[in-house]
Amino acid sequence: MDLTIIDEHQGFRWERYAVAWVVLREGLRGVRVEREKSEIVHRYAHLIRQQMPGDHHTYTSTQHFRQPPSLTSLLRRSR
């Protein structure tokens, strides 16, 4: 996923929704992608369920970030 979603939906009211961004390790392909997504969501399901509208949290295989723009910061570090 790239961050064009934010630019492409400038009028979208992000604050109305609880968003759980799932960031995978680089280099995964095929079934490993789906497996890692499932494992991350399963690991953090209790936290994802507690999110309220306006919460935009980012989840990785080892970390959970609560404050935006956590996704942007995380993706910039990996380049």
Give the model confidence (pLDDT) of 16-41 as tens digits.
989 898 989 989 999 999 999 999 99
The more confidently predicted of residues 73 and 37 is 37
Residue pair 23/75 in contact (Cβ under 8 Å)? The answer is yes
Cβ neighbours of residue 19 closer than 8 Å, sequence gap 6 or more: 51, 55, 56, 57
Q: Which pTM does this prediction carry?
A: 0.75
